[in-house]
Amino acid sequence: MRFKVKGEENVSLLAWTTTPWTLPSNVALAVSADYDYAYVERDGGETLILAKDLVESRVKGDYRIVRVVKGPSLWAWNTCLFIRMRILKRLPTWL
């Protein structure tokens, strides 16, 4: 799924789910503090953000990695899908 980043033109976070029917009720995306996330620029000016280890296997066509950050750099961003969503700083203790 592509989640557009509010306030950033042509920038989206990519996320995977095994339960797509739950997307309308989602209230957050989670990113790991330990993972590297790549900003991948594609033809046409689109920028995708996803786990760096997944870039080669998931991004098709011509692209270039323009920046790599750790998860905390993505915390507290607002994204959009069906409803307004936000990034979790940490997983709830009940998970």
pLDDT digits (tens, 9 = 90+) for 5-50: 878 889 988 888 788 777 777 667 778 888 999 999 998 889 999 9
Looking at residue 72, its pLDDT comes to 82
- Determine contact, residues 51/37, Cβ cutoff 8 Å: yes
Identify the residue whose tokens are 């692209």.
Answer: 63
Q: Which residues contact 6 (CB under 8 A, 6 or more apart)?
A: 77, 78, 79, 80
Domain ranges of the chain: 2-88
Q: Does residue 6 sit in helix, strand or coil?
A: coil
Query: Residue 85 above 60 pLDDT?
Result: no
Q: Which homologous superfamily does the CATH classification assign to the domain defined by 2-88?
A: Valyl/Leucyl/Isoleucyl-tRNA synthetase, editing domain (3.90.740.10)
Distance (Å, rounded) from C-alpha 71 to C-alpha 48?
15
0.85 cut: is pTM over it?
no
Taking only the tens place, the pLDDT of each residue in 66-79 is 999 998 888 766 55
